[in-house]
Amino acid sequence: MPSTKDLPAERIILGIDPGTTIMGYGVIRCRGKSQVELVEMGALHMSKIKDHALKLKRIFDRVSALIETHAPDDLAVEAPFFGQNVQSMLKLGRAQGVALAAALAHEIPVAEYAPRRVKQAVTGSGAASKEQVAGMVQRTLKIRTEDMPKDLDATDGLAVALCHHYQLATPKMQRGAGGWKAFLADNPDRIRK
Amino acid sequence: MPSTKDLPAERIILGIDPGTTIMGYGVIRCRGKSQVELVEMGALHMSKIKDHALKLKRIFDRVSALIETHAPDDLAVEAPFFGQNVQSMLKLGRAQGVALAAALAHEIPVAEYAPRRVKQAVTGSGAASKEQVAGMVQRTLKIRTEDMPKDLDATDGLAVALCHHYQLATPKMQRGAGGWKAFLADNPDRIRK
């Protein structure tokens, strides 16, 4: 329940950091501007899967399962737009594509954020280290140290979910976010043309 | 109905040539080795859609609709593995990813073919022009000239479907094709690692 009439109602955000080796993910529940809590976090490890198509299927299945379990209002994706070579970008594009498609299949609006923007939103610095991001995610979501994962992929997923929450919590965003088209119309800077 | 007990039963193949501006597609019905007929062909034009995410949604929706309409046994995708720059490959990878995801969502096995391989299979030459490919597709599927589309995107979709049919019609392939894993296990060369 929102704490004041000006704040948005409860909102579930699924954050994904899709890669072809590891996909980090996190789900948060937000009430108003400042109440955020952890719902789930995890990382899908695919380094032992040699077949690229099977990796894509795992990504699609996991994102679909997360959507069906948590019924998020939004999917937020960390999406690098540049990379080292065309081969790796084709594979990354496919991984992003299947994660996005799982959201499209469930008619869930998608927001994309460049890695630098996620770091900026969560820590205040676009040049923050993965450890700094993880530390701020832990503090913001009040995660006990013993519950923190050893690798930082799950916290990357939570970070992009938090980044999206901060974006939505601005006055401009509170007006929008009414479905896919309205969402995109309100957020032209979110999606690379 | 198969003409002899050695030939596979009727099989529907959906062929897709996914791009970020135009997606060509074609559906064929195959009986045995040599009986192939046109079911549907078309092209989804997206040049006027400025938003990349909306293009992805259109691709996903169309591929999903084609799968729901025709219940294909296989999806065959024309998939270039190399391109000019990382930006275009990321976008192409996403377009391929959502098309593949539509098949994954319906548990349909996917086969990928490089453009050169499609041309080779359909015309006998990997260096054939788009017009030569279209001409051979027209002859093979007995499409009347007045029914041929002006642009050659739909015939590219049919060409990859035909390429997959020829691949399946070899003795080795008749043994396989029993689900996603068996299909991949039988066709390691189809999917780029």
| Residue from A66, A70, A73 nearest A9 by CA | A73
Confidence of residue A95 (pLDDT cuts 50, 70, 90): very high
Residue B4 has pLDDT above 60, yes or no: no
Higher pLDDT, A1 or B142: B142
Distance separating alpha carbons of residues A121 and A161, to the nearest angstrom:
10
Phi/psi region, residue A71 (left: phi>0; alpha: psi -120 to 50; beta: rest), is left
Whether A40 contacts A149, CB under 8 Å: no
Higher pLDDT, A167 or A174: A167
Give the tens place of pLDDT for each residue, B143-161: 999 999 888 899 999 999 9
* pTM higher than the cut 0.90: no
Give Cα B47 to chain centroid, integer Å. Answer: 21
pLDDT one-digit tens code per residue, A23-79: 999 999 999 888 999 999 999 999 999 888 889 999 999 999 999 999 999 999 998
* Per-residue model confidence (pLDDT) at position A178: 44
- Structure tokens belonging to residue B59: 């691709």
Using left for φ > 0, alpha for ψ between -120 and 50, and beta otherwise, residue A7 falls in: beta
- pLDDT, position A175: 38
Spatial separation of the C-alpha atoms in residues A159 and A141, rounded to whole Å:
10
* CA of B135 vs chain A CAs: smallest distance (Å): 31
**Mean pLDDT for the stretch of residues A96-113:** 93
Residue B193 falls inside a structural domain = no
What confidence score (pLDDT) does residue A63 get? 96
* B124 phi, psi to nearest 5 deg: 90, -5
For residue B16, pLDDT beyond 80: yes
pLDDT at B172: 54
- Domain membership of residue B159 (yes or no) is yes
Determine whether the interchain pair B50/A193 forms a contact, defined as Cβ–Cβ distance below 8 Å: yes
Domain count, chain B: 1
pLDDT of B64 > 70? The answer is yes
Q: What is the pLDDT of residue B125?
A: 95
Residues 6+ apart with CB under 8 A from B34: none
Q: What pLDDT is attached to residue A184? A: 52
pLDDT in tens, B87-124: 889 889 999 999 999 998 899 999 999 999 999 999 99
Task: Tell me the Ramachandran region of residue A172: left when phi exceeds 0, alpha when psi lies from -120 to 50, beta otherwise.
Answer: alpha
Active-site residue B189, yes or no?
A: no
User: Are B56 and A180 in contact (CB < 8 Å)?
Assistant: no
Supply the pLDDT for residue A33.
82
Q: Is the pLDDT of residue B181 over 90?
A: no
Where residue A2 falls among pLDDT bands split at 50, 70, 90?
very low
Domain that holds residue A171: 11-182
In a domain, B157, yes or no: yes
Query: Which of A64, A84, A90 has the highest number of chain B CBs within 10 A, making it the mutation to test binding with B?
Result: A90
Q: Is B10 a catalytic residue?
A: no
Taking the C-alpha atoms of B49, A102, A52 and B175 in order, what is their torsion angle to the nearest 10 degrees?
Answer: -100
B2 within domain boundaries: no
Summary mean pLDDT of chain A: 85
In this prediction, residue A192 has a pLDDT band, given cuts at 50, 70 and 90, of very low
Average pLDDT over residues A84-96: 88
- DSSP calls for A24-79: EEEEEEEETTTEEEEEEEEEEE-TT---HHHHHHHHHHHHHHHHHHH--SEEEEE-
pLDDT at B6: 52
Residue B3 falls within a domain, yes or no?
no
Whole-number pLDDT of residue B51: 85
Q: What is the pLDDT of residues A64-75, one digit of tens each?
A: 999 999 999 999
Tell whether A121 is covered by a domain: yes
Identify which has the larger pLDDT, A170 or B27.
Answer: B27
Residues from chain B contacting residue A60 (CB–CB below 8 Å): 101, 104-105
Q: Which residues of B touch A192 (CB under 8 A)?
A: 52
| pLDDT value at A14 more than 80 | yes
pLDDT of residue A4: 46
Percent of chain A whose predicted confidence (pLDDT) is above 90: 67
Question: Is residue A3 situated within a structural domain?
Answer: no
Q: How far is B1 from chain A (nearest CA, A)?
A: 32
Is ipTM strictly over 0.85? no
Catalytic status, residue B107: no
Interface of B with A in 34-53 (CB under 8 A): 50-53
- Only one residue has tokens 């066709």, namely B187
Substitution target in B77, B92, B104 with the highest count of A β-carbons within 10 Å is B104
- The pLDDT assigned to A19 comes to 87
pLDDT of residue A181: 52
Q: How confident is the model at residue B54 (pLDDT cuts 50, 70, 90)?
A: confident
| Interval A78-100 mean pLDDT | 87
Buried b (16+ CB within 10 A) or exposed e, A20-38: bebbbbbbbbbbbbeebeb
Q: Does the residue B5 lie in any domain?
A: no
The CATH number that applies at residue A119 is: 3.30.420.10
